[in-house]
């Protein structure tokens, strides 16, 4: 991201609509790329805890003394546990803030109470589209569902016919990730009223972007990469000397790039829309979305898989002298989304993780350095560590069976945050110091208390370590527990109308024993469960 002062001095980004603060409106989300296939429960739960009556309201955010508490083995709790507690503080205390209804409640769907939403961070007062989706999907929908719901609606609008749509701006490529986060929010909360409205918003947003930014010749969507709105995230071309703008669209050819991360987000969005449609009884539309997802997956693998590197490339040029050329750079978010969105096959998952590069302090946005950057002048969106991207990558590693890479991602973020107990926006990939990186000839700031840096860590713990998988039927656990971390206990986690205490023992990702409320059962909790319950899982 860019600081508010840096952004506001740019003439390129302009306000998304009259009355909104001038800002870089981000569309988000890969952010919550919990694609359909990654959240499924194999079958109905065998446990029979007490059930909630149909229509019971989903609880709001927990009070400070009700938030979940974690405890690792003593040797690692001082780092991994402390980072979890700091991430909760970042999300629930620092970045949950009041909003101005006149500015943000353009849909009429925000609610008070709670009267708050999730801002993007200490240097950014707005939620922004992709931050809203990412933060809700990473942790907000689970830990503070009413606040997350407000956050998602705060970045939406109504079109001229009154229909719901994600706010329209000149960063179209990040808008559709909202659909993925919205479906995840429904799976976590069971909020059927939200689902009906979210389906309308997501479908209208897809229709708008599909019409304007789908390249039929390649079968891919055009536009820059997820979160890469700064030109420091791209080689030449589209970068060109003499252009002093930091905004990627001010460079010819940027608008026609076809990027790995962005297209994987669209794939996840098609699947999310298919499941929304099925849940609402629109089977015909669901089939259409699934067909579109299959075609897009085939196009991604045809055009963006690079045989030479045995992994995915970064983007295909859509125009200019290099039209049709695949840039072979490693994009960490793109690799993560290829796994999480179900784009990569099992063989591709194994290959991309086997060849992926990591710098001393974590995986970086894009590897290697572009010609104009180096270790002493790292590009702001190039060889530099954004904890949110590390969180996505680590979650993908857990899903992809690479527990070692998952563990490294957790310890990388914990070490970065452990320097001062705060989650900064981005860090130097070699020293681990907060570092905003270089772009258009000068070094930028790294903003403090960045929300998605903290929620990226929470995502790793909840959905990687404990392996929380949400479906309409309920919640199941598919944990990944590295050796030496256990036993790990997470107490007081709210899930819909239940409160859960979770315990992991052993090491590995294979469940060898599990109990629910002391009885031997699969680690599954039905969606309508109420009251307090315990789940214990032994791994090998």
Asked if residue 463 has pLDDT above 70, the reply is: yes
Apex 445 CA angle, 441 and 447, nearest 5: 155
- What ranges do the domains of the chain cover? 77-94+364-464, 472-539
Structure tokens at 217: 């010749």
The rounded percent of the chain whose pLDDT value lies above 70 is 88
Q: Are 27 and 172 in contact (CB under 8 A)?
A: yes
pLDDT at 18: 28
Asked if residue 159 has pLDDT above 90, the reply is: yes
3-state secondary structure 437-473: CEECCEECCCCCCEHHHHHHHHHHHHHHHCCEEECCC
Nearest to 247 by CA among 40, 16, 440, 17: 440
pLDDT at 125: 95
pLDDT at 13: 38
Q: Are 118 and 15 in contact (CB under 8 A)?
A: no
Q: Are 492 and 534 in contact (CB under 8 A)?
A: no
pLDDT at 515: 98
Nearest to 363 by CA among 397, 339, 338, 340: 397
Asked if residue 65 has pLDDT above 80, the reply is: no
Confidence of residue 12 (pLDDT cuts 50, 70, 90): very low
pLDDT in tens, 388-424: 999 999 999 999 999 999 999 999 999 999 999 999 9
According to DSSP, residue 172 is labeled G
- Alpha helices (runs of H) in 245-282, residue ranges in sequence order: 260-279
What is the average per-residue pLDDT within 178-192? 98
Apex 496 CA angle, 64 and 202, nearest 5: 105
Apex 222 CA angle, 271 and 219, nearest 5: 60
What is the average per-residue pLDDT within 296-301? 98
Question: Does residue 1 or residue 15 have the better pLDDT?
Answer: 1
Measured in degrees and rounded to the nearest 5, phi and psi for residue 140 equal -60, -45
Tell me the three state secondary structure of residue 343: coil
Find how far residue 486's CA is from the centre of its chain.
26
Q: Are 75 and 411 in contact (CB under 8 A)?
A: no
Q: Does domain 472-539 have CATH number 2.60.420.10?
A: yes
What is the average per-residue pLDDT within 454-478? 98
Look at the block and give the residue holding tokens 């109420």: 530
- Mean pLDDT is lowest, of 57-66, 168-177, 241-250, for 57-66
Confidence of residue 26 (pLDDT cuts 50, 70, 90): very low
Q: Supply the pTM of this predicted model.
A: 0.90
pLDDT in tens, 362-398: 999 999 999 999 999 999 999 999 999 999 999 999 9
Structure tokens at 2: 């860019």
- E strands in 53-158: 69-71, 96-98, 116-118, 156-158
Apex 40 CA angle, 28 and 334, nearest 5: 35
Structure tokens at 518: 């002391």
pLDDT in tens, 486-508: 999 999 999 999 999 999 999 99
The rounded percent of the chain whose pLDDT value lies above 90 is 88
Asked if residue 38 has pLDDT above 90, the reply is: no
Structure tokens at 326: 């695949």
Looking at the DSSP bridge assignments, the partners of residue 469 are 476
Measured in degrees and rounded to the nearest 5, phi and psi for residue 288 equal -65, -40
Confidence of residue 126 (pLDDT cuts 50, 70, 90): very high
Confidence of residue 66 (pLDDT cuts 50, 70, 90): confident
């Amino acid at each position: 991201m860019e600081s508010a002062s840096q952004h506001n001095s740019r003439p390129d980004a302009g306000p998304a609509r009259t009355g909104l603060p001038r800002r870089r409106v981000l569309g988000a989300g890969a952010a919550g790329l919990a694609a359909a296939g990654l959240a499924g429960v194999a079958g109905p739960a065998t446990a029979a805890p007490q059930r909630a009556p149909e229509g019971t309201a989903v609880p709001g955010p927990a009070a400070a003394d009700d938030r979940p508490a974690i405890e690792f083995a003593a040797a690692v709790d001082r780092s991994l546990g402390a980072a979890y507690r700091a991430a909760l503080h970042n999300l629930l205390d620092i970045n949950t803030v009041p909003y101005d209804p006149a500015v943000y409640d353009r849909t009429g769907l925000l609610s008070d109470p709670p009267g708050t939403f999730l801002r993007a961070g200490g240097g950014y007062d707005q939620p922004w589209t992709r931050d809203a989706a990412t933060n809700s999907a990473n942790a907000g929908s689970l830990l503070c569902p009413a606040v997350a719901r407000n956050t998602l609606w705060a970045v939406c609008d109504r079109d001229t016919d009154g229909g719901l749509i994600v706010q329209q701006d000149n960063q179209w490529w990040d808008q559709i990730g909202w659909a993925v986060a919205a479906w995840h929010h429904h799976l976590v909360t069971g909020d059927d009223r939200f689902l009906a409205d979210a389906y309308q918003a997501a479908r209208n947003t897809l229709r708008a972007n599909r019409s304007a930014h789908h390249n039929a010749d390649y079968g891919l969507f055009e536009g820059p990469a997820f979160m890469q709105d700064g030109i420091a995230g791209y080689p030449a071309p589209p970068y060109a000397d003499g252009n002093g703008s930091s905004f990627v669209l001010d460079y010819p050819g940027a608008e026609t790039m076809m990027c790995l991360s962005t297209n994987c987000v669209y794939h996840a969005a098609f699947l999310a829309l298919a499941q929304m449609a099925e849940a609402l009884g629109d089977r015909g539309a669901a089939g259409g979305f699934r067909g579109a997802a299959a075609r897009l997956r085939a196009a991604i693998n045809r055009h963006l898989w690079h045989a030479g590197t045995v992994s995915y490339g970064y983007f295909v040029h859509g125009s200019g002298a290099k039209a049709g050329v695949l840039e072979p750079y490693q994009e960490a978010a793109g690799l993560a989304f290829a796994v999480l969105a179900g784009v990569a096959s099992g063989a591709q998952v194994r290959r991309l993780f086997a060849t992926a590069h990591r710098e001393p302090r974590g995986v970086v946005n894009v590897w290697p350095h572009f010609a104009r950057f180096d270790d002493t002048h790292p590009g702001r969106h190039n060889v530099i560590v954004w904890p949110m991207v590390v969180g996505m990558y680590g979650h993908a590693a857990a899903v992809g069976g690479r527990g070692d890479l998952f563990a490294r991602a957790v310890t990388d973020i914990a070490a970065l945050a452990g320097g001062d107990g705060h989650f900064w926006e981005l860090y130097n990939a070699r020293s681990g110091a907060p570092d905003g990186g270089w772009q258009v000839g000068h070094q930028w700031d790294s903003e403090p208390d960045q929300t998605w840096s903290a929620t990226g860590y929470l995502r790793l713990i909840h959905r990687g370590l404990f392996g929380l998988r949400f479906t309409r039927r309920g919640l199941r656990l598919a944990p990944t527990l590295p050796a030496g971390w256990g036993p790990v206990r997470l107490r007081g986690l709210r899930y819909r109308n239940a409160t859960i205490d979770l315990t992991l023992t052993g090491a590995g990702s294979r469940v060898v024993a599990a109990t629910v409320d002391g009885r031997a059962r699969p680690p599954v909790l039905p969606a309508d469960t109420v009251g307090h319950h315990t789940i214990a899982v032994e791994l090998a």
